[in-house]
Amino acid sequence: MTDLIAELEALRARDLPTHGGRTLAYVYDSGLPDADEIGRRALAMFASTNGLDPTAFPSLAAMERDLIATAKPLVGAPDGAVGTVTSGGTESILLAVQTARDAARRERPSMVVPTTAHGAFHKAAHYFGVRVVAIDVDPVSKRAVPEAMAAAIDEDTVLVAVSAPSYAHGVVDPVAPIAAAAAERGVRCHVDACIGGWVLPWLDHEPWGLDVAGVTSLSVDLHKYAYTPKGVSLLLHRDPALRRPQFFASADWPGYTMLNATMQSTKSGGPLAAAWAVVRHIGTDGYRALVGTTVDATRRIAAAVAAHPHLRLAAEPDTTLVAVETDTALDVFTLSDEMLVRGWFTQPQMGFRDLAPTLHLTVSAATAADEFLADLDEAVAAAVAAGPVQVAPELRAAAAQLDPSTLDDAAFDGLLAAAGLSGDGLPTRMAPVNALLDAAPPRLREALLIAFLDRLTR
Ligand SMILES: *Cc1c(COP(=O)(O)O)cnc(C)c1O
């Protein structure tokens, strides 16, 4: 047994660190060892329980009701609101879209979202046959434009969505005017508060949740800023009638009648129990303190970025996310590599339509702003010295013309090799790969990454 543990530890040693506050995407560190410990214990205690049948494990139904009851006042939910625990933000969004589609019964359903809406909405559109109408955000504030969103609503629209805040730029969309425009047309409005819904309750911000008229559903991930182990998000609906199409039952087979509130059927009670324990352990005052610490670090990082001669903010952060743009002396891809050399994982985001590439920072309570900023200064100097990655003009032109639907497996092998994405493992410096992907149109970018994943998992 100890051999296996040693093997697991060896595997983990190559991963990004989940603790220490130096991984600024994917993971969230409260810096509270007791909160981590209670989460791990609850996760293990309930690992083998099954949320498939809420009558078989009443403990799970009880903890789910508790979590929803805790969340409701935080996200402005009225008394009659109801909620479901899901496996993550994507599942919450998938269910919100599916529910809206099924309630509206349109022949050619569509949804109106800002271009900054999370990719999960595009995934939902793909799975459920809903057309995405993506509306450009304001080029300066990076927020959804209410008039443009309202004008895009038509007879096919089954859902309007906004972010609180957007992952890419960290700004909260104007929820009230957009929700009002949706309500006026009798269309549902979802607030994606997956990343901000456990931060905004402790900030002084204009209403962004279910207390805003016209908002019909809201998602908030506990495995982000509630600092619970992975696998827990909440999906709330304003009332039970709005939620009903989310539920699925099937008696069309000779086995047990299937009855599911979420996409999963058998599902571990572990993440739910862990979330229940961590949320209770940290408590409202604990979260207020964590948000205070994190927002303070975010503001210091943002101020230093704004004052830096080579950097600027894509937008002033509304919560705990920072999006950094650079001038032409460097690029975000090289900067990200230089930060990794210094022990910080930051996430390069590619340009989209008129929106520039950015470096994304998810700041968590354990992130030390001073250490980060000292290394950022050095990393910028190194990236300026190296200069931005030059994508050969012929390659750029070729990328713009390639139609991914015409490429076969061998062509993808060649392209992946040219991009530096073949063989096992990734190159240590990702900037050349990222700069090339950035130059590729979105469809080609997607096709190349899918081909990469296909080979990684063979
Ligand atoms: C993280 C995130 C999601 C998706 O959540 P997952 O838990 O990764 O599936 C959706 N929307 C926003 C704004 C997010 O930050």
User: Looking at residue 367, which CATH number applies to its domain?
Assistant: 3.90.1150.10
326 and 449 in a common domain: no
- Comparing 38-42, 331-335, 438-442, the range with the smallest average pLDDT is 438-442
What is the residue with the minimal CA distance to atom 6 of ligand 1?
Answer: 89
Angle between helices 58-74 and 270-307 (to 10 degrees): 30
Q: Could you tell me if the CB of 64 is within 6 A of ligand 1? A: no
Structural domain includes residue 14:
no
User: What are the residues facing 82 on neighbouring strands?
Assistant: 237
Task: Identify whether 165 is preceded by a cis peptide bond (ω within 30 of 0).
Answer: yes
112, 144 contact by CB (below 8 A): no
The 3-class SS string of 27-75 reads: CCCCCCHHHHHHHHHHHHHCCCCECCCCCCCHHHHHHHHHHHHHHHHHC
* Closest alpha carbon to 188 in 145, 235, 220: 235
DSSP string, 385-407: HH-PPPPPHHHHHHHHH--GGG-
Mutate to test the pocket of ligand 1, among 26, 86, 87, 90 (most ligand atoms within 8 A of CB): 90
Last residue within a domain, chosen from 386, 414, 444: 386
Q: Could you tell me if the CB of 90 is within 6 A of ligand 1? A: yes
Take residue 148 and report the two structure tokens written for it.
Answer: 């443009």
396 burial via Cβ count (<10 Å: 0-12, 13-18, 19+): middle
Q: Could you tell me if the CB of 167 is within 6 A of ligand 1? A: yes
138 and 244 in a common domain: yes
260 and 274 in a common domain: yes
Model confidence at 123, in pLDDT bands (50, 70, 90)? very high
Helix (H) or strand (E) holding 323: strand 321-326
418 and 379 in a common domain: no
339 in helix, strand or coil? helix
Compute the distance between CA of residue 356 and CA of residue 360 in angstroms, rounded to an integer: 12
Structural domain includes residue 48:
yes
Structural domain includes residue 7:
no
Looking at the chain, the whole-number percentage of residues with pLDDT higher than 90 is 86
291 and 274 in a common domain: no
What is the position in ligand 1's atom list of the atom closest to the CA of 90? Answer: 9
Structural domain includes residue 212:
yes
Distance 92 CA to ligand 1 centre (A): 9
**Number of other residues whose CB lies within 10 A of the CB of residue 362:** 25
Q: Could you tell me if the CB of 120 is within 6 A of ligand 1? A: yes
153 and 53 in a common domain: yes
Compute the distance between CA of residue 311 and CA of residue 330 in angstroms, rounded to an integer: 9
What is the residue with the minimal CA distance to atom 10 of ligand 1?
Answer: 89
What is the residue with the minimal CA distance to atom 3 of ligand 1?
Answer: 89
Last residue within a domain, chosen from 261, 279, 297: 279
Distance 166 CA to ligand 1 centre (A): 9
pLDDT at residue 457 in the model? 87
Q: Please give the distance of CA 57 from its chain centroid, rounded to a whole number.
A: 30
Give me the amino acid identity at 108: R
Q: Could you tell me if the CB of 319 is within 6 A of ligand 1? A: no
- Comparing 123-132, 218-227, 235-244, 401-410, the range with the smallest average pLDDT is 401-410
Structural domain includes residue 353:
yes
pLDDT at residue 217 in the model? 98
375 burial via Cβ count (<10 Å: 0-12, 13-18, 19+): middle
Distance 170 CA to ligand 1 centre (A): 12
Take residue 24 and report the two structure tokens written for it.
Answer: 């600024």
Model confidence at 411, in pLDDT bands (50, 70, 90)? confident
- Comparing 89-98, 302-311, 391-400, the range with the smallest average pLDDT is 391-400
Give me the amino acid identity at 354: D
- Is the pLDDT assigned to residue 412 strictly greater than 90? no
Model confidence at 327, in pLDDT bands (50, 70, 90)? very high
Distance 76 CA to ligand 1 centre (A): 20
Burial code (b: 16+ CB inside 10 Å, e: under 16) for 47-59 equals eebebbeeeebee
User: What are the residues facing 161 on neighbouring strands?
Assistant: 190
CA atoms within 13 A on the CB side of 179: 24
User: What are the residues facing 50 on neighbouring strands?
Assistant: 268
What is the residue with the minimal CA distance to atom 4 of ligand 1?
Answer: 89
pLDDT at residue 392 in the model? 86
Structural domain includes residue 436:
yes
pLDDT tens by residue, 248-302: 999 999 999 999 999 999 999 999 999 999 999 999 999 999 999 999 999 999 9
291 and 161 in a common domain: no
Distance 242 CA to ligand 1 centre (A): 22
pLDDT at residue 425 in the model? 67
361 and 441 in a common domain: no
Distance 190 CA to ligand 1 centre (A): 14
Model confidence at 402, in pLDDT bands (50, 70, 90)? confident
108 and 214 in a common domain: yes
Distance 406 CA to ligand 1 centre (A): 32
- Is the pLDDT assigned to residue 423 strictly greater than 70? no
Mutate to test the pocket of ligand 1, among 167, 169, 233, 322 (most ligand atoms within 8 A of CB): 167
Compute the distance between CA of residue 166 and CA of residue 200 in angstroms, rounded to an integer: 13
Distance 165 CA to ligand 1 centre (A): 11
pLDDT at residue 424 in the model? 65
- Is the pLDDT assigned to residue 86 strictly greater than 80? yes
400 and 381 in a common domain: no
What is the residue with the minimal CA distance to atom 12 of ligand 1?
Answer: 194
Model confidence at 70, in pLDDT bands (50, 70, 90)? very high
247 and 332 in a common domain: no
415 burial via Cβ count (<10 Å: 0-12, 13-18, 19+): buried
- Is the pLDDT assigned to residue 426 strictly greater than 80? no
Q: Could you tell me if the CB of 191 is within 6 A of ligand 1? A: no
Q: Could you tell me if the CB of 170 is within 6 A of ligand 1? A: no
Compute the distance between CA of residue 280 and CA of residue 69 in angstroms, rounded to an integer: 12
- Is the pLDDT assigned to residue 143 strictly greater than 80? yes
Distance 5 CA to ligand 1 centre (A): 31
Compute the distance between CA of residue 357 and CA of residue 437 in angstroms, rounded to an integer: 11
Structural domain includes residue 263:
yes
Question: For the chain, what is the domain count?
Answer: 3
Model confidence at 413, in pLDDT bands (50, 70, 90)? confident
Compute the distance between CA of residue 148 and CA of residue 137 in angstroms, rounded to an integer: 9
Last residue within a domain, chosen from 386, 412, 431: 386
Q: Could you tell me if the CB of 192 is within 6 A of ligand 1? A: yes
450 and 352 in a common domain: no
The domain of 343 spans 285-386
CA atoms within 13 A on the CB side of 188: 28
Distance 148 CA to ligand 1 centre (A): 24
pLDDT at residue 419 in the model? 79
How high does pLDDT run on average in the chain?
A: 96
Q: Could you tell me if the CB of 163 is within 6 A of ligand 1? A: yes
361, 24 contact by CB (below 8 A): yes
Average pLDDT over residues 183-192: 98
- Is the pLDDT assigned to residue 343 strictly greater than 80? yes
At 86, phi and psi to the nearest 5?
A: -120, 180
Looking at the chain, the whole-number percentage of residues with pLDDT higher than 70 is 99
Nearest 5°: the CA angle 118, 89, 344 is 75
